[in-house]
A = this chain, B = another copy of it.
Amino acid sequence: MSPDEFRRHGHAVVDWIADYYARIESFPVLSPASPGEVRASLPAHPPEFGEPFENVLRDLDRAILPGITHWQHPSFFAYFPANASGPAILGDLLASGLGVQGMLWATSPAATELETLVLDWLAELLDLPGRFRSSGAGGGVIQHTASDAALVALLAGLHRVSGGATERAGVAAGRYAVYTSGQTHSSVEKACRIAGLGADALRKLEVDPATQAALPGHLRALIDADRAAGIIPALVVASVGTTGTGAVDPVRELARIARDAGAWVHVDAAWAGVAAVAPEFRWLNDGAELADSYATNPHKWLLTNFDCDAFWVADRGPLLGALSILPEYLRNAATDSAAVIDYRDWHVPLGRRFRALKLWAVIRWYGAEGLRAHIRRHVALAQEFASWVADDERFELVAPHPLALVTFRLRAGDDQTLALMRRVNGSGELYLSHTAANGKTALRLAIGSPLTERYHIEAAWRALSAT
């Protein structure tokens, strides 16, 4: 495709996306497609000869859109939001156009230096502890997802508690343990399995029934029992905003207990952490200065397209110890000088995209002020929605809702609650998901789209309460 063809088709794609956002409310939020329907509408075999780019756009409308669940729809309230925004889309487009690999500083110095800088910017915007800035022993990196962040935190923790022995000798089965809330994301169990500890190494902390936050007393009891049995605590993951109900674990208390036992402390604030751009939500950072690593996802609630998990460590040493390998074909003068960061040593993949561009574009377009306004608007809408739930005696709120996730249920029971979810999701007018808390089914309404206005929340409540 020549530069001029690219210009022409590129303008058409940009127009398609602009039009998509202008007409997004004309689509059902949840795709009504049946299994196999999308595939059946496309050719079974690849074309022998090239086709005009217009054909791709035609089939996008004809075959793909009917199979899309519209995550950017203003009435998408399921899971956690996966914000897109204009500056993020265009920043990512620039990364695609440049097509550089930032695996080493030397393979494109700007890709590494902008990423380090922008992660410092974000740490400043969130008022995270100074130890996570790159000016000292710490610093930030963009991981794909919070699952990747939990995995590398575990690897760094294993490296540290073993004095570096796991790097060569591996993990002895049954020797290490990992602790996290029973309400935490499945990523921690997945990390245990990937890192060779197995799911049995995971200790799930009991939660307070009222707050759904992990109980520090249970962490202490589990760690004491493990240590008495010769098992080494490797990692404690504190959740700031659990996936189920948005619960905020008592990071400071958990971290103190973990540090006493020598375990790595990772704060998983994937969804909630970015709310700290607004000073009134900085209580979310309480205790973070005791953590070894911290992760939050601008690709969830900070207007930055997937993938963009911001991950900081207070000390780069154990992370590099766990992951650094230098074969001859990657040797270069800058790496040998130790004056630069080589991000390939901070995560699983070697190759890496210039993802900092999109986060840089977002922060510059919105500014600190714009990001604060974005978060505050969603929190205010969620508080209003929660007040309507509280005022309707058929419903009950199941957990605190200080941010933009509200969990609630029909007092009538689990079956009735799930039936309500199926009915509203099937209408195509809104989409929400469910979880379990205190052994009961609850619905989750997570507000996160830049397009969501008060009338979308009102419509959601009308649909839910017309039961």
Asked whether any CB of chain B lies closer than 8 Å to the CB of A199, the reply is yes
Distance in angstroms from A11 CB to nearest chain B CB is: 5
Contact between chains at B195 and A370 (CB < 8 Å): no
Minimum CB–CB distance from A39 to chain B (whole Å) comes to 4
B113 touches A36 (CB 8 A): yes
Report Cα–Cα, A352/B307, bound state, in Å.
8
Copies of this protein in the assembly total: 2
Let me know if A194 and B348 touch, CB within 8 A: yes
Kindly identify which residue among B60, B122, B158, B435 contacts A329, using a CB–CB cutoff of 8 Å. Answer: B435
Which residue, A64, A244, A327, A351, has most C-beta atoms of chain B within 10 A?
A: A351
Restricting to A169-206, which residues have a CB under 8 Å from any CB of B? 169-174, 185-187, 189-190, 192-201
B10 touches A90 (CB 8 A): yes
State in angstroms the CA–CA spacing of A98 and B124 once bound together. Answer: 30
Given contacts A108-B31, A364-B47, contact A433 B329 (CB under 8 A): yes
> Closest CB of chain B to A339's CB: distance in Å?
5
Please name 19 further chain A to chain B contacts, defined as beta carbons within 8 Å, in addition to the given A56-B364, A329-B435, A348-B348, sorted by A numbering.
A3-B18, A47-B368, A49-B367, A50-B364, A51-B365, A64-B357, A65-B110, A92-B92, A93-B93, A101-B306, A145-B349, A145-B351, A147-B349, A151-B194, A168-B198, A172-B173, A186-B330, A190-B325, A190-B350
A194: chain B residues at CB < 8 Å are 151, 155, 194-195, 323, 348
* CB-defined A-B contacts under 8 Å, sample of 16: A3-B21, A10-B89, A16-B97, A21-B97, A37-B113, A49-B368, A50-B366, A67-B113, A72-B99, A82-B351, A88-B96, A89-B93, A92-B92, A158-B196, A170-B201, A329-B444
A340: chain B residues at CB < 8 Å are: 35
